[in-house]
Structure 1
Amino acid sequence: MPRGSETEALLLALRTCFSDVPLARARLVLQVFSETWGEFVDAPLDLALQGKLKLRAVPAPQKISLERGSTMFFCCDMQERFRPAVKHFADITAVAQRLLRGAAVLGIPVVATEQYPKGLGSTVEELYLVSAQMVLPKTQFSMLLPEVLTLLQNSPNISSIVLFGVETHVCIQQTTLDLLSCGYAVYIVADASSSRSDTDRHLALQRLAQAGAVVTTSESVLLQVVGGKDHPDFKEIQQLIRELLPTPGLPPGHTPGSNTTGIQ
């Protein structure tokens, strides 16, 4: 790099060097090695390269929040052929429908995938995907297809992903780990995600919580987005969550609250 190069140019150079790995798409913070402290510290905002320095880029701290302008919903592989095989499929479909209707009300972008639809069928007809930005076929487990990565790159305002679907221990798990490595805050909707085995499902949720994902519920997600009764869409969201949906096979620590009808 030439002398005088500033922070943004240095970050761009680091991204270019590692453009083939997911981390290059994360929100990065530039750090410089401090001889005084003997460790890397955040580079000053007015950094300008004047000589040899040890530099690195690390993911920026995640902003753990859900807001309309910074959130995207991912619906993973809710397909016909999984209906008889996946535990609690009818229940998680009902919850997923609530989430998608909520996304439509709130103007939250939705991405959906279908695992090998030629053999496993399309997304179940109960789900409202009319407003989805894209519905993509895939054969890999992760939802981070090239088209999805491009969409995320072109949506710098997006910092949080709400993820739900099947199977929890396969495609949900791999998508979560990939998103975390890219610097996104990930919310897994436990009451809208399942597997063929409850054991696989519960252990995957535990692992992903330990990895840094937020394991939550559909009602919690929608209410966190609106933030309070003064939100312009609160009444419509209130109507969506007024009906208590099933808690499909979840342990007590993962069940939704029972105070829905008490919200004013």
Structure 2
Amino acid sequence: MNESYEVIPERFMMADWNISSTGDHVSVLFSFSEFSRPSSVSVASGYEVLIQKFLSLYGHQIDIQRKFVIQCFSEEWGQYIDVPKGFVISERCRLRLVPLQTDKTPLGNLSPSTTVFFCCDMQERFRPAIKYFGDIISVGQRLLQGARILGIPVVVSEQYPKGLGSTVQELDLTGAKLVFPKTKFSMVLPEVEAALAELPAVRSVVLFGVETHVCIQQTALDLIGRGFEVHVVADATSSRSMMDRMFALERLARTGTLISTSESVLLQLVNDKEHPKFKEIQNIIKVSAPESGLLSKV
């Protein structure tokens, strides 16, 4: 991973960063994504020690297959600067771990043992406002049923349920790992991150619900930023506006989100006609999912 670093001239070393010493151990603020946690490391800790510290703090959020750069905040420049290869900690500082963008196209392979389903804000008050809401409820039923058959964990959010109501009764949330209220658009909140930390094998998130251009989009972007592979189920997500939905799906596809369908997801998860659960999944999809008006708007 060291080869991904840009070498910085020696004059930008610790002496130019106005930070203070604390003794045998150095206080460091470790930041990843929007989160920051204070900790400490031994004086003279280098790159490997810092990476291990980041992994100990944020391991369940970090895709170790990706390349990263460590940056230190420079008071002189008022922004973060890539640390040089020979960088060691000698004084108190602020560090952040930044995933590097890659051109690698996600393959989109799914398996029950590495997948979690996210059901986003499928609530009663949205029923009259969201286009083809009845159809996406129908598809959501298929997905939740498939998750129960295959033993896939399900995380369910409800946007301000005090005002917008609970998840619609048609969706059976029996066995869901987590059902939680939120006001933030993204589902990626501390309680969700804690739930994901209990599922260290999970690499793929199958995401569906409303609204495509708001909570679905923000959740997908936050998950991708944490190294997860995200599958948005096109026939199980909608918005009040079909234009908003269309451009959100286009944007998500450009960021590496995989836009799929419920039948494709369920069949990919069983993978083989000889899978012991194939017949049960086949029964779910015998009748094709409703196409409604969503088809021409993808």
Report the Cα offset of residue 128 of structure 1. 1.2
CA distance in 2, matches of 1:212, 1:147: 25
Aligned to 2:37: none
Deviations 1:202-249 (A, max 9, x none): 110111001110001000000000001011100000000001121132
**Paired letter, 1:99:** L
1:52 aligns with 2:86: yes
Candidates 202, 205, 224, aligned match of 1:161: 205
- Are residue 27 (structure 1) and residue 67 (structure 2) matched? no
Residue identity (%): 52
Report if aligned partners of 2:114, 2:201 keep a CA contact under 8 Å in 1: yes
Cα pair 1:76 1:114 within 8 Å, conserved: yes
* 1:189 alignment partner, one of 223, 230, 233: 233
Query: Residues 23 and 206 from structure 1, CA distance in 2 versus in 1: closer, same or farther, beyond 3 angstroms?
Result: farther
Range 242-251 or range 83-92, more displaced = 242-251
Q: How many residues align?
A: 232
Contact 2:235 2:294 in 1 (8 A): yes
Q: How does 1:82-93 map to 2 (within 5 A)?
A: 82-93=126-137
CA RMSD of aligned residues (A): 2.9
2:182 to 133, 138, 160: 138
> In 2, distance between residues paired with 1:94 and 1:167?
16
Structure 1 regions of 5+ residues with no counterpart? 34-50, 255-264
Return the offset for 1:25.
2.2
**In structure 2, what residue type is equivalent to 1:25?**
Q
CA contact 1:32–1:53 (8 Å) conserved in 2: no
In 2, the alpha carbon distance for the partners of 1:174 and 1:23 equals 22
What amino acid is the match of 1:223?
L
TM-score by length of 2: 0.70
| CA distances 1:93-138 after superposition (whole Å, capped 9, x unpaired) | 0000000000000000000000000000000000010110111000
Q: TM-score, normalised by structure 1?
A: 0.79
Deviation at 1:171, TM superposition (A): 0.3
Residue 10 of structure 2 corresponds to which residue in structure 1?
Answer: none
Is 1:12 the equivalent of 2:41?
A: no
> Could you tell me how far 1:155 is from its partner in structure 2?
1.6
In structure 1, the residue corresponding to 2:293 is in which secondary structure? coil
Whether 2:253 is the aligned partner of 1:209: answer yes
Instruction: Give 3-state SS (helix, strand or coil) of 2:282's partner.
Output: helix
